[in-house]
Structures are given as C-alpha cells and as structure tokens.
Structure 1
Amino acid sequence: MHRLLRDMLFGLSDAHVILEPDSGQLLHPEALTAFDQLRRDAREAGFHPRVVSGFRSFERQRTIWNAKAVGQRPLLDSECRELDVACMSPEEIVFAILRWSALPGGSRHHWGTDFDVIDAAAVAEDYRVQLTPEEVADKGVFGPFHCWLDQRIAEGKSYGLFRPYGEDRGGVAPERWHLSYAPRAKEFQQMLSGALLSEQLLSCPQDAEVMLADTVCAAMDDIFTRFVAVPETAYPTNMYRL
C-alpha cells in the first residue's frame, strides 16, 4: 500500500480532508458536499445540523484510548455506568473501551468520511454537548432532528449518508449521532484489515505507544469483526455518489 494512502487510512495525515467552516471541523470533501445538501434540506424543516466531531487523527484517538486505559477518563459499561479500571483485566479494559471509543487506527473518523452531528437549533449556544443516548433518543433534546433524519435515510434522501452504528450488533454501542458518507467510507474500509491494523499498533515508537496494544493484537480477529468492520448489510443498497 502506498505510504500516503496508508497514512490517510490510519489518520496519520490530513491531506484528504478540508475545513467545514461552520464548525471548524475537517471532513472529506465528498462527505462535506453530502452534508451541505442534507443541511439545506434540514434547515427547510426547521433544524440546524452542526458537525461536532469530524476528522480525528491517530494521535488524538491514541490520547483518548490511553486516558481510558489508565482511568484518567471514565470507562463505562453498556448502561453508561462507570467501571473501576483497577478491578479489571487488560482484556476486560480493552473491550470496555471499544464499546464507546474506537481503537487508534481503527476509527472511521480517520477517513474524514464520518462525523458526529447535532441540531444546533435545539439548544443554547453555550450548551455542552455530551453525545449520550439520552440526548438523541426520540424524546431527547436532539430527538426530533434524528427522527426526521431516520425518515430521510429510509427514503434514500440522505445523499449517501447513513448511520454505521445505528443498531447494537454486539460491538460498538449504538451512536445515533454518527453519520458516514457510504461510498467513500466503504472504499476505505475495504483497504483495512486486522493484520494491517495490528502492524500499525505495534510499530508505534515507545514515546507514542498505544496502551494494551499486545492485548488488542491477541484478540484482533474478534475486535476487527465486532468493533472495526461495519457489516456489508449496514451500508445502503443504493449508495448515492456525488
């Protein structure tokens, strides 16, 4: 694999993303075009979609991962209850992190095709977004927007954007706020493998190591299937290409 392509795949380069001016986030150009089209329709319906997290680098994801691995950030179970890292085995810690946070190198945010979105019209400007299940539930603060979006996706009117984690498949917890531009994201996913991901994790220098990398690599087959690769059936059958 060409070095530049590998760097884009793992979030080691931002050469493939551009600025989304309203949020200051970085997105793949095609994902941004799709979002702009969806945002136009949403505003006509009274919503104001805003990206709150777009491209995320390998280093940023590594920082999140390592902080959870040592208990500097809360580690949550499937019911969002805080876990005690000190009482858990390395494998238990790894799978608990993966429930809510992607593995460095295995995050779809690296590609710029995926982003988290809210309805800015539903909250005050100083509202602190948490991206919790409660916020995006039908009766949550962002519920009306997501119900509208559900219908758009079901009708094939979301310009190729879909929810890769729209349901619980026994891996990543459902993330109703997470959208992905299907055509380009699928291409990136097809380039990725468990072997490549393990190689990347184990090649990090000592001063930039991914904690618990050995534990991750030992369980990579299971991890890649459940927490990295989105099933073919989850992608739209007719992917909209810009």
Structure 2
Amino acid sequence: MLTPDLNALEGLDLYGDGNLPLTDCQGHRLAVECAAQFIRMQTAAAGDGVEIAICSSFRDFDRQLSIWNAKASGRRQVLDEASRPIDIQSLDDNQLLDAILLWSALPGMSRHHWGTDLDLFDAKNIDRQSLQLIDSEYHPGGPCHKLHTWLASHAADFGFYFPYQAGLSGVSPEPWHLSYYPLADKYLAAFDSDKLKARLELAAIELKGPILTRLEALVSRYVYFVAPSPNGPVKQILKK
C-alpha cells in the first residue's frame, strides 16, 4: 500500500493548469516516471507482437473544458453506455450532465490532468485516424483486443492498471485507459474538492449551476470511485 507524502505534493496543481513535472513521450506529455515505465512496457509488448501507441495523455483544464462545452452545447456527440449517440434535446440539465459524465470527465476532475493516465491503441491493427475509442474495438474481434488482453496480463508489472472497470468505477469501463498508479494514487489522495470548486466557479463552463450544486457527490462518484490499484512494488524490468 502506498503511503503518500502529501506535504511533498503541496503546491502542485492537480486540476489541469499544467504545473506538474511532465516530459515529452513520443509527442505526448507524461509524468517523467510514467513515461519511463511506459517505454519499458511498450518494448515488452512489441516482443509479443503488440504495437502500443498513445492516443491521448496529459490534457490541461482548458482542453478538457473545450471537450465538455462542445458536448453540452451539442457541437460534439454525447454517447450512451453502449456508445450510441444520444439526442440531448430531450434531456434536462441534470440528465445531460449525467450523460456527458458517462465518458467525459469534468474539467478539473480528469485523471488526464496528472500526466499519469493514457489512452492506448494497437497501431499494428488500427491507425489513429480510424480509432473511435469504443468498447467494440477492444473486445474479441476488435483491432485492439490483443492489446487489451496483453495489458490485462502485463500492465501491472510496469505500474499500470485499468482504473475504470465495470462495477468498480463511476466512469464507464474504458479498456483503453491505463493509469500509472504509483503516482496517480498519491495525486488522488491529495485531491482537494474546495480547490476544484474555486476553479470551476471562475470557469466559463456549460451546466455550471447543476455542477456546483452537485459537486460533492460528483467528486465522490467520478474522482474517488475508481477500481482499486494493485498493491506492492513496481517491477523494474527492461532497464538495460
């Protein structure tokens, strides 16, 4: 079990302004330790015929805000649990809020703000332009099924796991989303809802009223309710 030194995290922004220590990794921004472990994992997977590629990693508050506002205003599709488009005109504000949260985090509540989380695909079987990040791509018969099976068996060896799993998270299961838990667990423990509220109060965000009214419950469900991470030390392999 990790015992985070919360004092060491004082002053770090966990809500998307980008002052966490990040590095470039194949054109994406990641926490330094996360990037190193990802490359080791990628090398190991390549030996088994899986070409791990990053679709998305760090996103700042403004980027997450643009995604949120586009969905809330109808400029970007909102999907149901089966990845089918929803007619948002039939929804009231709270229903729309809940529908967006099935697949998209509120700005300030995304684990992608931490540089510890990645969306991955198998570049050997599908290109980035064709990728939709939907369940069927990672299920049997999908182009990323071999990737998902490999990650389920080996990701924990490098400190990664799936935080969004059926019945174990507020967010819908995401078989493409990995989290580097030695850092992410520390950041989660240091998360401060009051700081998030202050950030959102100043933001030009759609659905602000219901968001602020329900914020405590939303943080509980969509920030803290994630699948438990594996315990024990990270196996430092492929260092040579």
Percentage identity across aligned positions?
32
1:193 is displaced (CA, Å) by: 3.1
Give the corresponding residue for 1:55.
58
Distance 1:164 1:221, change over 3 A: same
1:69 is displaced (CA, Å) by: 0.7
The match for 1:69 among 72, 76, 79 is 72
- Confirm or deny: 8 A CA contact 2:80 2:86 kept in the other structure: yes
Distance of 1:6 and 1:92 partners within structure 2: 35
Matched, 1:151 2:153: yes
Distance of 1:195 and 1:126 partners within structure 2: 37
Deviates more, 1:28-37 or 1:185-194: 185-194
Matched, 1:200 2:199: yes
Give the corresponding residue for 1:217.
212
Distance 1:118 1:126, change over 3 A: closer
1:236 is displaced (CA, Å) by: 0.8
Q: Gapped runs of 5+ residues in structure 1?
A: none
CA RMSD of aligned residues (A): 2.2
Distance of 2:200 and 2:105 partners within structure 1: 13
Give the corresponding residue for 1:162.
161
Give the corresponding residue for 1:108.
111
CA distances 1:40-90 after superposition (whole Å, capped 9, x unpaired): 110110111011101001000000000111111111111222222222111
Distance 1:241 1:162, change over 3 A: same
Matched, 1:11 2:16: yes
- Confirm or deny: 8 A CA contact 1:17 1:27 kept in the other structure: yes
In structure 1, give the amino acid aligned to 2:16.
Answer: G
Distance 1:214 1:6, change over 3 A: farther
Report the TM-score when normalising by structure 1.
0.87
Q: Describe how 1:85-164 pairs up with structure 2 within 5 A.
A: 85-123=88-126, 125=127, 127-153=129-155, 156-157=156-157, 159-164=158-163
In structure 1, give the amino acid aligned to 2:234.
Answer: Y
CA distances 1:94-143 after superposition (whole Å, capped 9, x unpaired): 111111001000000000000101111122x4652111101111321100
In structure 2, give the amino acid aligned to 1:58.
Answer: F
- Confirm or deny: 8 A CA contact 1:11 1:56 kept in the other structure: yes
Distance 1:118 1:64, change over 3 A: same
Query: What SS is found at the alignment partner of 1:234?
Result: coil
Distance of 2:150 and 2:31 partners within structure 1: 24
Matched, 1:182 2:177: no
In structure 2, give the amino acid aligned to 1:8.
Answer: D
CA distances 1:155-190 after superposition (whole Å, capped 9, x unpaired): x42x11111013244621100100111011111111
Distance of 1:167 and 1:98 partners within structure 2: 15
The match for 1:228 among 220, 223, 229 is 223
Report the TM-score when normalising by structure 2.
0.88
- Confirm or deny: 8 A CA contact 1:164 1:230 kept in the other structure: no
1:6 is displaced (CA, Å) by: 5.4
Distance of 1:75 and 1:6 partners within structure 2: 35
In structure 1, give the amino acid aligned to 2:200.
Answer: L
In structure 1, give the amino acid aligned to 2:231.
Answer: T
Which is richer in helix? 1
Q: How many correspondences in the alignment?
A: 230
Distance of 2:85 and 2:232 partners within structure 1: 40
Q: Gapped runs of 5+ residues in structure 2?
A: 1-5
